[in-house]
Amino acid sequence: MINLKNKRILVTGGNGFLGSFVVRKLKERGCKNIFIPRSKDYDLVQMAAVKKLYKDARPDIVIHLAAKVGGIGANRDNPGKFFYDNLMMGVQLIEVGRLKKIEKFVAMGTICAYPKFTPVSFREEDLWCGYPEETNAPYGLAKKMLLVQSQAYRQQYGFNSIFLLPVNLYGPGDNFDPVSSHVIPALIKKCIDALRKKKNSITVWGTGKPTREFLYVADAAEGIILATEKYNKSEPVNLGAGFEISIKDLVKLIAKLTGFKGKIIWDKSKPDGQPRRCLDTSRAAKEFGFKAKTKFEKGLAQTIEWYKRLVC
């Protein structure tokens, strides 16, 4: 087990949604040497900026959370940018980390890396059994290449890097921009906006039939820290809550929790995305003792209250 307290830790994306919770967890463990780069100072798509970052931060451990990411719409509109930016950030950070002989690199994958039709619950062994869902395949494959790099670098150079596969996250501080947000913040915003503007209906993408799994952001942060402390293998590890809910039931639940009682209109001309998503989380429990603790309805209620305070 790595004692993180006296390590110099670089957290890319440390000011972001997930990153802010990871940094908070590190501080709770007594970590004082945490370097959080800002995108305006370090464009991690550029190798020169990556080298400068390592020179400035001098890390023992890198937790790479920075990503260009969004929901179905954002992925559909930016396939090239999402592929290139995510690939170049990760590949270059790992390569320079190897050259600098850092102690450990923690890479974030994505559930979007799994094949479109994967047996539920998704097991890490199924990762290569098909092509990802088309709307987010470029993003998912860019992230998946970091697993290939991690395993190749461990094999050839003995480089200690790990690869985690978090499911869709949600919680206070999420991205509520309707252009790029994921499904939970998008639905919360639709319901709250409808209530504020006294509208009697909301429109939701797709058919409502697909299922999704959601992990509360604070739980995800704890899983990442536990893996950083305890896990030192190149086999990928799922981070999830181990349940699935249909989008139709999710809409009903968010409507109930927000108090929206109007009509829900399904725009079936819009894509559904991957048919089902639910992770097998047994490897995380076995390897580093991670198990999600936050009940879904409680986490949703906390997210809704946070958003209400933000806009009301």
By residue range, what is the domain housing residue 96? 9-170+215-242+277-293
Band the pLDDT of 311: cuts 50, 70, 90. Answer: confident
Model confidence pTM above 0.85: yes
Structure tokens at 305: 């209250």
DSSP 180-236: T--HHHHHHHHHHHHHHTT-SEEEEES-S--EE-EEEHHHHHHHHHHHHHH---SS-
Band the pLDDT of 241: cuts 50, 70, 90. Answer: very high
Residue 305 lies in a domain: no
DSSP 241-265: -S--EEHHHHHHHHHHHHT--SEEE
Per residue in 10-52, pLDDT tens? 999 999 999 999 999 999 999 999 999 999 999 999 999 999 9
Residue 46 lies in a domain: yes
Catalytic residue among 42, 54, 114, 139: 139
- 96: CB partners within 8 A, 6+ apart: 47, 50, 51, 54
pLDDT at residue 275, as a whole number: 83
Residue 137 lies in a domain: yes
Domain count, the chain: 1
Per residue in 266-310, pLDDT tens? 999 988 887 888 899 999 999 999 999 999 999 999 999 999 998
Band the pLDDT of 312: cuts 50, 70, 90. Answer: confident
pLDDT at residue 2, as a whole number: 94
Residue 242 has pLDDT above 90, yes or no: no
Residue 263 has pLDDT above 90, yes or no: yes
pLDDT at residue 215, as a whole number: 97
What's the CA gap between 302 and 51, in Å, rounded? 39
Residue 237 lies in a domain: yes
Per residue in 139-183, pLDDT tens? 999 999 999 999 999 999 999 999 999 999 999 999 998 877 889
Q: Taking all residues of the chain, what is their mean pLDDT, rounded to a whole number? A: 94
Residue 68 has pLDDT above 90, yes or no: no
pLDDT at residue 110, as a whole number: 92
Band the pLDDT of 247: cuts 50, 70, 90. Answer: very high
What's the CA gap between 293 and 286, in Å, rounded? 16
Residue 190 lies in a domain: no
Residue 39 lies in a domain: yes
Per residue in 102-151, pLDDT tens? 999 999 999 999 999 999 899 999 999 999 999 889 999 999 999 999 99
Residue 114 lies in a domain: yes
CATH of the domain at 233: 3.40.50.720
Residue 113 lies in a domain: yes
Structure tokens at 170: 């949600």
Mean pLDDT of all residues in 91-101 = 98
pLDDT at residue 3, as a whole number: 94
139 catalytic per annotation? yes
Pairing of strands 211-212, 245-246: antiparallel
Residue 222 has pLDDT above 90, yes or no: yes
